[in-house]
Amino acid sequence: QQQVKQSPQSLIVQKGGISIINCAYENTAFDYFPWYQQFPGKGPALLIAIRPDVSEKKEGRFTISFNKSAKQFSLHIMDSQPGDSATYFCAASINSGNTPLVFGKGTRLSVIA
């Protein structure tokens, strides 16, 4: 049973455009929502994370928007650059317990010039 649904599976964006990746979750006990970025041949690395007490978190060109009532959260990449081309994973967990992160299936982003 997939607990975090991620879309789209792949995304092509023009340089300078906005990349948007969406995730939806089912378990209302989740209270920690990170995004991981993975470059080819490398392991994933934490990009940005949010907790449900805020609706938005911004770090540079990367923003997480969180909608608790809809049980959805999304990653926005502003002014997308070719160097942002990577696979992005959303995830969720119950941070206060020993439950592992549950990952979405990933979105392969290609930013073209």
Residues in contact with other proteins by the rule CB under 8 A: 6, 9, 32, 34, 36, 41-46, 49, 89, 93-95, 97-101, 103-106
CB 52 within 8 A of CB 97: no
Minimum gap (Å) between residue 56 Cβ and other proteins: 19
Q: Closest Cα to residue 68, out of 113, 106, 30? A: 30
Which lies closer to other proteins via its Cβ, residue 57 or residue 105?
105
Give the whole-angstrom CA distance, residue 52 versus residue 68. 7
Q: Least distance to other proteins from the beta carbon of 96, Å?
A: 8
Q: Using the minimum distance from each CB to other proteins, give the nearer residue, 88 or 111.
A: 88
Nearer CB in complex with other proteins: 42/68:
42
What Å distances lie between residue 77 and 25, 64, 81, CA to CA?
A: 21, 9, 9
